[in-house]
């Protein structure tokens, strides 16, 4: 069933949330657009401006690393200060109520945690762009320090151990994080309601989770303003603006 009326969407979600014993949230870039962070595939996306620097190139080529950091800091400046939106706040409330076990997210912006969802309830499949990590020893590096060093030397910074420092995101060509994938499977297989919000559902393996939930017997709900790849598989498609659809479930902050 596809619902395009916001009032009907509110009523249907309220009914499903009341019925569910355990839900899993799944989010993509669309939940953050009302916060000023553009999504990946909508027209004019700044993320599509350059050919992505894949993981092997980042490792192999110091010039590619420098370019990756330049791009990263330019994007960070554009979206610095983004605050969580109504969708993030609704999911934080559902997690706080105990009904939603966790939020699986493809996003790297940290806005679920900023909205109050405890970090251990946010499963970041593609990492987190608000800090950096050494690829050798795993040490965390703060972006402000990395940037200061980069601007001082003009070179991509290294860890004290000599390892390559990279934004803590998962790049094209980089292995998916094992523990996050394991936990995402677990949350997907233990829920009776799986709600996918703001994703075109074309990026795999992430987009495999809604399908897995459905095959496992959960009710699959998709909230997005345009068609997604998995609409045909969903029990319910709520087509419209995420913030408007989820606002009744968002606690004010």
Minimum CB distance to ligand NAD smaller for 159 or for 203: 203
Q: Does 73 contact ligand NAD by CB under 6 A?
A: no
Residues from 184 through 213 that contact ligand NAD (CB under 6 A) = 198-200, 203
Minimum CB distance to ligand NAD smaller for 187 or for 241: 241
**CB distance 129 to 77 below 8 Å:** no
Shortest reach from residue 104's CB to ligand NAD, in Å:
11
Rounded Cα distance between 113 and 180, Å, is: 16
SS3 90: helix
Span near ligand NAD by CB under 6 A; candidates 35-43, 48-56, 69-77, 210-218: 35-43
Q: What is the DSSP letter of 45?
A: -
**How many chain residues bind ligand NAD (CB under 6 A)?**
26
Minimum CB distance to ligand NAD smaller for 95 or for 207: 207
Residues from 213 through 242 that contact ligand NAD (CB under 6 A) = 224-226, 241-242
Shortest reach from residue 73's CB to ligand NAD, in Å:
16
Residue nearest to ligand NAD (CB): 30
Shortest reach from residue 170's CB to ligand NAD, in Å:
8
Instruction: Tell me the angle at which helices 178-190 and 208-215 cross, rounded to the nearest 10 degrees.
Output: 30
Residues from 82 through 101 that contact ligand NAD (CB under 6 A) = none
Residue for token pair 């949330």: 17
Of residues 37, 195, 220, 236, which one binds ligand NAD by CB under 6 A? Answer: 37
Count CA atoms closer than 13 A to 142's CA, side-chain side: 3
SS3 106: coil
Q: Give the start-end residues of each E strand in the chain.
A: 2-3, 23-27, 100-105, 122-124, 127-134, 140-141, 165-169, 193-197, 219-224, 236-239
SS3 13: helix
Q: Does 167 contact ligand NAD by CB under 6 A?
A: no
Residues from 114 through 153 that contact ligand NAD (CB under 6 A) = 126
Rounded Cα distance between 138 and 185, Å, is: 24
Shortest reach from residue 52's CB to ligand NAD, in Å:
10
Residues designated as active site: 126
Minimum CB distance to ligand NAD smaller for 149 or for 231: 231
Q: Does 55 contact ligand NAD by CB under 6 A?
A: no
Rounded Cα distance between 32 and 117, Å, is: 15
**CB distance 237 to 8 below 8 Å:** no
Using CB under 6 A as the criterion, which residues of the chain lie in contact with ligand NAD when the complex forms? Answer: 28-30, 32-34, 37, 39-42, 47, 106-109, 126, 198-200, 203, 224-226, 241-242
């Amino acid at each position: 069933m596809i619902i395009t009326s916001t009032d009907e969407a509110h009523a249907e979600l309220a009914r499903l949330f009341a019925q569910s014993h355990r839900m899993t949230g799944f989010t993509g870039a669309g939940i953050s657009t009302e916060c000023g962070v553009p999504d990946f595939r909508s027209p004019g996306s700044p993320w599509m401006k350059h050919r992505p620097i894949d993981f092997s190139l980042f490792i192999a080529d110091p010039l590619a690393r420098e370019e990756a950091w330049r791009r990263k800091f330019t994007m960070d400046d554009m979206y610095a200060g983004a605050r969580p939106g109504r969708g993030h706040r609704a999911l934080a409330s559902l997690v706080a109520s105990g009904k939603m076990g966790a939020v699986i997210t493809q996003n790297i912006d940290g806005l679920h945690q900023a909205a109050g969802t405890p970090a251990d309830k946010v499963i970041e499949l593609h990492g987190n762009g608000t800090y950096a990590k050494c690829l050798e020893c795993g040490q965390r590096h703060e972006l402000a320090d990395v940037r200061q060093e980069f601007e001082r030397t003009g070179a991509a910074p290294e860890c004290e151990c000599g390892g390559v420092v990279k934004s803590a995101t998962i790049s094209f060509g980089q292995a998916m994080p094992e523990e996050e994938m394991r936990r995402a499977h677990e949350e997907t297989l233990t829920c009776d309601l799986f709600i996918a919000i703001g994703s075109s559902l074309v990026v795999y393996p992430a987009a495999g989770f809604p399908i897995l939930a459905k095959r496992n017997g959960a009710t699959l709900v998709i909230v997005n303003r345009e068609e997604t790849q998995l609409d045909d598989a969903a029990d319910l498609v709520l087509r419209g603006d995420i913030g408007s659809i989820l606002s009744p479930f968002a606690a004010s902050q």
